[in-house]
Amino acid sequence: MDRAVSNRQPWIRAALLVGLVYFLVGRVFAVPGEHVQAWRLAAWLVSAVAYAAHIGYEHFRLRSSTRSTALHVALAVAIGGFTLALAGMIHAASTPAGIRPVWFLALVAWPAFTAVPAFLGALVAAAILRRLPRSSELK
Domain ranges for the chain: 14-130
pLDDT at 19: 97
List per-residue pLDDT tens for the chain, 139 residues long.
455 545 668 999 999 999 999 999 999 998 888 889 999 999 999 999 999 999 999 999 999 999 999 999 999 999 999 999 999 999 888 888 877 888 899 999 999 999 999 999 999 999 999 998 876 555 5
Helices 36-56/10-28 angle, 10° precision: 170
pLDDT at 1: 47
Q: How far is CA 128 from the centre of its chain?
A: 20
Q: What is the largest CA-CA distance in the chain?
A: 66
CA distance 44 to 67: 24
